[in-house]
């Protein structure tokens, strides 16, 4: 007797039945406006909830649902943190997105209490923002996860979102904008945020960090995001993207970090991208890092790489401390016109050596570097200490008149691949 098959069973339903999983619940849309509309229950535009109720709206929208933030009814003035604990589900995030009356993606503006600021046209207009302050917009709490933030604008804030001390998974920030911030995406040494993506999210004006990849965070991506401090100073160790603690596996691809400025001591700090020795798996691809008062790229991590990146107008365009296990590859990069601000020597590439003859030093394998220009009298390539290696292949370097092209390794350190033929002055 032939078997009675249910031909109407979809492949998706069949896969779910076989795996024992349930299909996601029907998605919902909830609405938020600058002021309560109608009943304020969020079930329609006419009954939109206030921003303070956004966590409830996320919970009610549910996995796969949407929270539509009205962009056509005015700004959202918010000066106290809003706690977020609601969540979507893996593969079915809740999307929090700006939307106008025609359901088109447009950016509503969230405005905090940080001191107002006007972006200067040049570095000469740099300001001290030490006292600018600013409130946190969203405070992440236990239970949060699988949320997608899209088409939102954040202004005059201390922090866009604070992930301090929590473990959570699955976040997307896409097509958002930041302006005049102390920090953007914040984690601390107790954070364990995994699978977070920042995509096409430019920021203009911040004084501390825009992205903190700290704690035990893992598997983050920063894609096509242009991050410009715009010379806001007053906070020590200003950095565009900072890795710390044991955070691991970060991909930075496309975009840029620009103009981080720190003038608090006689040696100006201020870096584009930074990693510490306890970080691993930091990979930077087709990115630019320009105009910082210290390094364009300052990498202490192992299992890391820099590919197709351009550094310009930093005190030390590339600053490498890692490579103790395996040399850090620096492939297809360019280093243009390193320029000193606030003490310290100026270099295209600076590598940290060991403290003594028995200590390992950083090692870099440089392939296809194009380097040109820089401050008068600088050292193009420099090793600071013992037992380090800079191995140069395919070097093309042009130095301005008066610039110094030399090496200064200590015992056990070597710089290879410096044929005389590569040392040429620019044509008149």
pLDDT tens digits along 365-379: 999 999 999 999 899
Give the pair of three-digit tokens for residue 16: 């779910």
Q: Coil, strand or helix: which one is 421?
A: helix
**Tokens 């044509």 map to which residue?**
427
Q: Which helix (H) or strand (E) holds 13?
A: helix 11-19
Q: Identify the band that residue 426 occupies on the pLDDT scale cut at 50, 70 and 90.
A: very low
pLDDT of 3 > 70? The answer is no
Q: Identify the band that residue 420 occupies on the pLDDT scale cut at 50, 70 and 90.
A: low
Residue 419: is it exposed, middle or buried by C-beta count within 10 angstroms (0-12/13-18/19+)? exposed
Position 228 scores a pLDDT of 98
Distances (CA, A) of 213 to 63, 119, 142, 193, 245: 26, 26, 19, 9, 9
Residue 18 or residue 223, greater confidence? 223
Cβ neighbours for 1, distance < 8 A, ≥ 6 positions apart:
none
Residue 360 or residue 23, greater confidence? 360
- On the CB side of 206, how many CA atoms lie within 13 Å of its CA? 36
Q: Identify the band that residue 235 occupies on the pLDDT scale cut at 50, 70 and 90.
A: very high
**Tokens 């209490």 map to which residue?**
113
Give the pair of three-digit tokens for residue 87: 């969540």
Position 43 scores a pLDDT of 97
> In this structure, are strands 192-199 and 232-233 parallel, antiparallel, or unpaired?
unpaired
Position 422 scores a pLDDT of 44
Q: Can you name the residues that pair with 128 across neighbouring β-strands?
A: 233
Q: Identify the band that residue 428 occupies on the pLDDT scale cut at 50, 70 and 90.
A: very low
Distance CA 54, CA 33 (A): 10
pLDDT of 239 > 50? The answer is yes
Position 408 scores a pLDDT of 65
pLDDT of 195 > 80? The answer is yes
Position 4 scores a pLDDT of 35
- On the CB side of 270, how many CA atoms lie within 13 Å of its CA? 34
pLDDT tens-digit readout, 80-121: 999 999 999 999 999 999 999 999 999 999 999 999 999 999
Position 72 scores a pLDDT of 97
Distance CA 346, CA 338 (A): 6
Distance CA 222, CA 226 (A): 10
Region 48-74 average pLDDT: 98
pLDDT tens-digit readout, 79-91: 999 999 999 999 9
Distance CA 353, CA 289 (A): 24
Q: What is the pTM of this model?
A: 0.92
Q: Which of 52, 237, 207 is nearest to 133 (CA)?
A: 207
Q: Are residues 357 and 391 in contact, defined by beta-carbon separation less than 8 angstroms?
A: no
Express the helix, strand and coil content of the chain in percent, nearest 5 each: 5, 45, 50
pLDDT of 427 > 50? The answer is no
The DSSP result for 106-140, as a single string, is ---EEE-SSPP----SSGGG-EE-TT----EEEEE
Position 363 scores a pLDDT of 97
Position 25 scores a pLDDT of 56
Distance CA 122, CA 194 (A): 37
Q: Which of 329, 343, 325, 265 is nearest to 297 (CA)?
A: 329
Percentage of the chain with pLDDT > 70?
A: 90
Q: Coil, strand or helix: which one is 378?
A: coil
Domains and CATH numbers, the chain: 27-100 (no CATH), 101-109+127-424 (2.160.20.10)
> In this structure, are strands 381-384 and 248-253 parallel, antiparallel, or unpaired?
unpaired
Distances (CA, A) of 420 to 6, 382, 416: 77, 17, 12
Residue 333 or residue 407, greater confidence? 333
Q: Coil, strand or helix: which one is 33?
A: strand
pLDDT of 8 > 60? The answer is no
Position 1 scores a pLDDT of 34
Residue 416: is it exposed, middle or buried by C-beta count within 10 angstroms (0-12/13-18/19+)? exposed
pLDDT of 181 > 60? The answer is yes
Taking residue 392's Cβ as centre, other Cβ atoms within 10 Å add up to 22
Q: Dihedral sign for Cα 194, 71, 51, 33, please.
A: negative
pLDDT, averaged across the chain? 91
Give the pair of three-digit tokens for residue 62: 């549910």
């Amino acid at each position: 007797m032939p078997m009675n098959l249910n031909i109407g069973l979809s492949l998706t339903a069949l896969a779910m039945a076989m795996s024992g999983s349930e299909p996601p619940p029907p998605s919902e849309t909830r609405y938020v406006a600058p002021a309560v509309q109608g009943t304020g229950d969020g079930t329609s535009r006419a009954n939109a909830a206030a921003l303070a109720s956004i966590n409830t709206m996320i919970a009610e929208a549910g996995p796969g649902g949407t929270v539509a933030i009205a962009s056509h009814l005015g700004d959202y003035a918010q000066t106290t943190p809003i706690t977020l604990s609601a969540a979507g589900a893996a593969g079915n995030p809740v999307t929090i997105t700006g939307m106008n009356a025609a359901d088109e993606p447009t950016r509503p503006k969230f405005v905090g209490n940080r001191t107002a600021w006007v972006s200067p046209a040049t570095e000469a207009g740099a300001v001290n923002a030490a006292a600018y302050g600013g409130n946190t917009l969203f405070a992440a709490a236990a239970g949060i996860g699988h949320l997608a933030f899209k088409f939102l604008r954040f202004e005059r804030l201390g922090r866009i979102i604070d992930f301090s001390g929590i473990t959570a998974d699955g976040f997307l920030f896409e097509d958002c904008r930041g302006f005049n911030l102390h920090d953007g995406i914040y984690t601390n040494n107790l954070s364990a945020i995994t699978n977070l993506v920042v995509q096409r999210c430019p920021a203009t004006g911040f004084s501390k960090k825009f992205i903190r990849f700290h704690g035990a965070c893992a598997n983050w991506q920063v894609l096509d995001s242009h991050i410009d401090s715009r010379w806001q100073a007053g906070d020590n160790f200003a950095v565009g993207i900072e890795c710390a603690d044991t955070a691991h596996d970060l991909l930075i691809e496309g975009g840029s970090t620009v103009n981080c400025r720190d003038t608090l001591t006689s040696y100006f700090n201020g870096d584009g991208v930074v990693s510490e020795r306890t970080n691993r798996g930091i990979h930077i691809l087709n990115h630019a890092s320009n105009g910082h008062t210290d390094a364009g790229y300052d990498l202490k991590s192992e299992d890391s790489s820099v590919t197709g990146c351009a550094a310009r107008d930093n005190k030390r365009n590339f600053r490498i401390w890692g490579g103790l296990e395996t040399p850090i590859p620096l492939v297809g990069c360019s280093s243009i016109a390193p320029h000193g601000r606030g003490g310290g020597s100026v270099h295209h590439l600076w590598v940290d050596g060991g403290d003594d003859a028995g200590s390992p030093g950083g090692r870099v394998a440089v392939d296809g570097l194009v380097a040109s220009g820089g401050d008068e009298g600088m050292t193009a390539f420099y090793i600071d200490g013992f037992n380090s290696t800079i191995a140069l292949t395919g070097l093309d370097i042009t130095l301005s008149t008066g610039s110094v092209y030399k090496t200064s390794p200590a015992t056990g350190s070597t710089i290879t691949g410096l044929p005389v033929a590569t040392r040429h002055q620019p044509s008149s």
